[in-house]
Amino acid sequence: MEKFPLDFNIDRISGTPGRYDKHIQRMLSDMRGQFADQDAYQKMIEEGDRILYEVYEIGRPGIAGELMQGISIIHAGKVGDEYFMTKGHFHSRLEMAEVYYCLMGQGMVIMETPEGGQSSRELGPDSVVYIPPRWAHRSVNTGQQDLIFFFVYPSDAGHNYGTIEEYGFGKLVVERDHRPAIIDNPRWVPPEAR
């Protein structure tokens, strides 16, 4: 029990947890092929790499019954007109769900099933999104500030990035007339046609 402390605080200004076991930083260069506007992506990379999002993980053993917790921070910005976003994934154990609790910022969770079902929910201060079993999830920062949310999911869920890396999600979140809009992803192929 003592090996894993049971509580922590979240700094309300920075959104960072008072303690964590792992700090992951995902760079623009880690997202090659994910943004629709490849020319805008290339131009941005040439201007210099940068951190798109960060994850602070509070670890627990990766066994059934345990829960992984943490904080994700998606920085504000766009590649072309597409907002900064996470890679997105299915859980390797597809049947495992997840909960996001948004602390700060504005954004969206884009979700998709292996059969190509599409859904999305908004994230804002104090909103909670339940990601049901079988739904892949990607979070998108549609605001001007960091999007910061707490997450909790089964420790043995695992992450499967495979098909998302290849085809992306069916929907993209882009800026249209100074506000976020969800549009079809031209690169996406319905699962039955892959």
By CB under 6 A, name the binding residues for ligand S6P: 26, 55, 70, 72, 86-89, 98, 137, 139, 151, 153, 159
Among Zn ion, ligand S6P, none, partner that 171 touches (CB below 5 to 8 angstroms by kind): none
Other C-beta atoms closer than 10 Å to the C-beta of 66 total: 13
Q: How far apart are CA 38 and CA 18, in angstroms?
A: 38
φ, ψ at 54 (rounded to 5°) = -135, 145
In this complex, which beta carbon is closest to ligand S6P, that of residue 39 or of residue 55?
55
- For 181, the 3-state DSSP assignment is strand
CB of 125 to ligand S6P, least distance (A): 17
Q: How far apart are CA 33 and CA 76, in angstroms?
A: 19
Residue nearest to Zn ion (CB): 98
Contacts of Zn ion in 85-104 (CB under 5 A): 98
Q: How far apart are CA 109 and CA 72, in angstroms?
A: 13
DSSP 8-state symbol, 40: H
In this complex, which beta carbon is closest to ligand S6P, that of residue 89 or of residue 171?
89
CB of 166 to ligand S6P, least distance (A): 14
Tokens (6 digits) for 64: 């059934």
In this complex, which beta carbon is closest to ligand S6P, that of residue 131 or of residue 174?
131
CB of 73 to ligand S6P, least distance (A): 9
112 binds Zn ion (CB under 5 A): no
- For 129, the 3-state DSSP assignment is strand
Would you tell me which residues interact with Zn ion (CB under 5 A)? 98
